[in-house]
Chain A
Amino acid sequence: AQSVTQLDSHVSVSEGTPVLLRCNYSSSYSPSLFWYVQHPNKGLQLLLKYTSAATLVKGINGFEAEFKKSETSFHLTKPSAHMSDAAEYFCVVSVPSGTYKYIFGTGTRLKVLA
């Protein structure tokens, strides 16, 4: 069975400091992995995706994530947090089984302190 675990429900960082949001996955197949961001009262927006190409994936707004098969991890990072990064972040695993099935993590709320 496929699953995804976001290890922190809340993360607080100071503006200008690095961001690390942790995600571990479980999959019997070679997975596709995604990070989505959800700002308050806004829709879900794709940040980046991994689909078995380069293991270091660059996304929008300076975010990137590294796929580590040995650790079954797909952590999201950003070198320097901005106030506008405050939002809820979801790690998602997808496995093709006829059509794609997407399984969401429980989310990490990022707070950026001035």
Chain B
Amino acid sequence: EAGVAQSPRYKIIEKRQSVAFWCNPISGHATLYWYQQILGQGPKLLIQFQNNGVVDDSQLPKDRFSAERLKGVDSTLKIQPAKLEDSAVYLCASSLGARLFFGPGTRLTVL
């Protein structure tokens, strides 16, 4: 079966610019997660969707981050404007039952 797809794999931007990441979960997986992994740390949940509804976005910096999952399949995560501290790997995951499947991640560097 195809895995979780993410694009782009790498992105370099300057601070105050905008950036968007895309995720396509495994077919049939209703739950989709976006995680932020800063170098040397464990993944931190940014937002969790169940179909096209938000389950948990308590750790999403809503003044600059936004995410949507239209039609309950693909999802996009946007940062506007980016800050230096947003440099991290952004991981998308989907789940069916009690198991997470991760995409390869998008490595964001903010200069």
Which residues of A are found within 8 Å of B42, using beta-carbon distances? 90, 104-107
- Report yes or no: B31 in contact with A102, Cβ–Cβ below 8 A: no
Asked whether any CB of chain B lies closer than 8 Å to the CB of A111, the reply is: no
Which residues of B are found within 8 Å of A34, using beta-carbon distances? 99-100
Which residues of B are found within 8 Å of A104, using beta-carbon distances? 35, 42-44
Asked whether any CB of chain A lies closer than 8 Å to the CB of B90, the reply is: no
A43-B103 contact given A90-B42, A107-B42, CB 8 Å threshold: yes
Tally of contact residues, A, Cβ under 8 A = 23
- Report yes or no: A101 in contact with B102, Cβ–Cβ below 8 A: no
Binding-face segment, B18-26, B48-56, B63-71, B73-81: B48-56
- CB proximity to A under 8 Å, residues B7-56: 30-31, 33, 35, 40-45, 48, 50, 55-56
Which residues of A are found within 8 Å of B48, using beta-carbon distances? 99, 101
- Report yes or no: B95 in contact with A100, Cβ–Cβ below 8 A: yes
Which residues of B are found within 8 Å of A51, using beta-carbon distances? 98
- CB proximity to B under 8 Å, residues A58-114: 90, 92, 94, 96, 98-107
Q: Which residue of A lies closest to B55 (CB)?
A: A99
Which residues of B are found within 8 Å of A92, using beta-carbon distances? 100
Determine the distance from Cα of A90 to Cα of B105 in the docked complex, in whole angstroms.
16
Q: Which residue of B lies closest to A102 (CB)?
A: B100
- Report yes or no: B31 in contact with A94, Cβ–Cβ below 8 A: no
- A-contacting residues of B (Cβ < 8 Å)? 30-31, 33, 35, 40-45, 48, 50, 55-56, 91, 93, 95, 97-100, 102-105
A-B contact pairs, 6 of them (CB 8 A): A43-B102, A45-B102, A99-B48, A99-B95, A102-B100, A103-B45
Known: A46-B99, A96-B98. 12 other contacts (CB 8 A): A43-B102, A43-B105, A45-B102, A46-B100, A99-B55, A100-B95, A100-B98, A102-B33, A102-B45, A103-B45, A106-B41, A107-B42
